[in-house]
């Protein structure tokens, strides 16, 4: 079998390292400042009949660098939501557009819509 020259191997290693850094840099270690759920009832008219839809939502706030970012989203029935995290935990999070994505300890991702961001005092 033919071996690759050293300069080719070095360049390949450099490319893989840079690509890995780019993907790893998406998520930042941050502190979980607040997490809570709340319930909301929404009245909906379907074919002349009023129905009340019970919504369970959660609000999560993390500190990324010196900014507190708050996101909100609906809990899915099969999802444990944020229950496996506690205030003060170190988590990984990233912002993608208007979405705050937080990795739970299980590795699953919580995707929330950003509703507020403010400097931490």
DSSP 68-116: EEEEEEEPPTT--TTTT--TT-EEEEEEETTEEEEE-TTS-EEEEEEEE
Q: pLDDT-based confidence at 22, cuts 50/70/90?
A: very low
User: What is the predicted pLDDT for the residue at 52?
Assistant: 85
pLDDT, averaged across the chain: 78
Note whether residue 19 is domain-resident: no
Residue 63 structural domain: 27-119
Q: In three state form, how does the secondary structure of 21-54 look?
A: HHHHCCCEEEEEEEEEEEEEEEEEEECCEEEEEE
Is the model's pLDDT at 14 over the cut of 70?
Answer: no
Coil vs helix vs strand at 3: coil
| In-domain check, residue 57 | yes
Other Cβ atoms closer than 10 A to 61: 22
Count of domains forming the chain: 1
With a cut of 90, say whether residue 108 has pLDDT above it: no
Give the separation between CA 55 and CA 51, rounded to whole angstroms. 13
For residue 111, tell me if it sits in a domain.
yes
Q: What does the pLDDT average to over 8-22?
A: 53
Q: For residues 23 and 118, which has the higher predicted lDDT (pLDDT)?
A: 118
| Predicted structure pTM score | 0.66
Task: Show the tokens assigned to 29.
Answer: 């270690």
At residue 96, does pLDDT exceed 70? yes
Residue 25 to residue 96: CA distance in whole angstroms: 13
Residue 12 is assigned to a structural domain of this protein: no
pLDDT of residue 104: 83
| Short-list 62, 58, 60, CA closest to 37 | 58
């Amino acid at each position: 079998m033919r071996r690759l020259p050293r300069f080719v191997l070095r360049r390949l290693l450099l490319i893989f390292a840079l690509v890995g850094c780019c993907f790893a840099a998406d998520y930042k270690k941050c502190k979980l400042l607040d997490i809570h759920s709340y319930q909301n009832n929404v009245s909906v008219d379907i074919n002349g009949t009023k129905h009340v839809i019970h919504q369970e939502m959660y609000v999560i706030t993390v500190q990324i660098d010196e900014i507190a970012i708050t996101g909100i989203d609906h809990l899915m029935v099969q999802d444990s939501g944020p229950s496996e995290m506690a205030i003060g935990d170190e988590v990984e999070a990233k912002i993608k557009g208007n979405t705050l994505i937080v990795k739970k300890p299980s590795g699953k991702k919580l995707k929330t819509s950003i509703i507020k961001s403010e400097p931490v005092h």
